């Protein structure tokens, strides 16, 4: 019976984001559209970027309930966060670099169950 509980928390979404980014703190803002597969493996969030055909570094899931998924990770040079509202199917992803160049990106978009 507890196997069913574990599967209830699994998710798999295709998300289309409008993304604004700077490659360094002093640069101008740029934007582009991005498409991701966002899913979990236990308490780890995985993101696959269709444009570059690559998985991002894993994030730790902090909250995964019937309403939302919240995940984040602090890396050596940046922090990444993702928030997905399971009711509205809107998601936000951001990363902020704190190395010598800075920069970062902010994305918001709509997701669909895969």
pLDDT digits (tens, 9 = 90+) for 20-55: 999 999 999 999 999 999 999 999 999 999 999 999
Ranges of each domain in the chain: 2-113
The pair phi, psi for residue 84, each rounded to 5°, is -125, 125
- Give the predicted TM-score (pTM) of the model: 0.89
Using one digit for the tens of pLDDT, what is the confidence trace for 57-110? 999 999 999 999 999 999 999 999 999 999 999 999 999 999 999 999 999 999
Fold of 2-113: Porin (2.40.160)
Residue indicated by tokens 């998710």: 11
What integer best gives the mean pLDDT of the chain?
A: 93
Show the tokens assigned to 78: 């940046």
Beta strands (DSSP E) in the chain are 12-22, 30-41, 44-49, 54-55, 59-64, 68-74, 78-85, 90-97, 104-113
């Amino acid at each position: 019976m507890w196997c069913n509980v574990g599967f209830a928390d699994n998710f798999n979404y295709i998300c289309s984001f409008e993304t604004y980014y700077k490659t360094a703190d002093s640069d101008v803002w740029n934007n582009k559209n991005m498409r991701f597969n966002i899913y979990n493996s236990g308490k780890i969030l995985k993101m696959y970027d269709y444009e570059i055909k690559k998985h991002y570094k894993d994030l730790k899931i902090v909250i995964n309930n019937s309403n939302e998924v919240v995940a984040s990770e602090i890396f050596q040079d940046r922090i990444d966060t993702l928030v997905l509202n399971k009711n509205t199917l809107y998601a936000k992803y951001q990363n902020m670099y704190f190395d010598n160049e800075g920069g970062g990106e902010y994305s918001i978009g709509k997701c669909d169950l895969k």
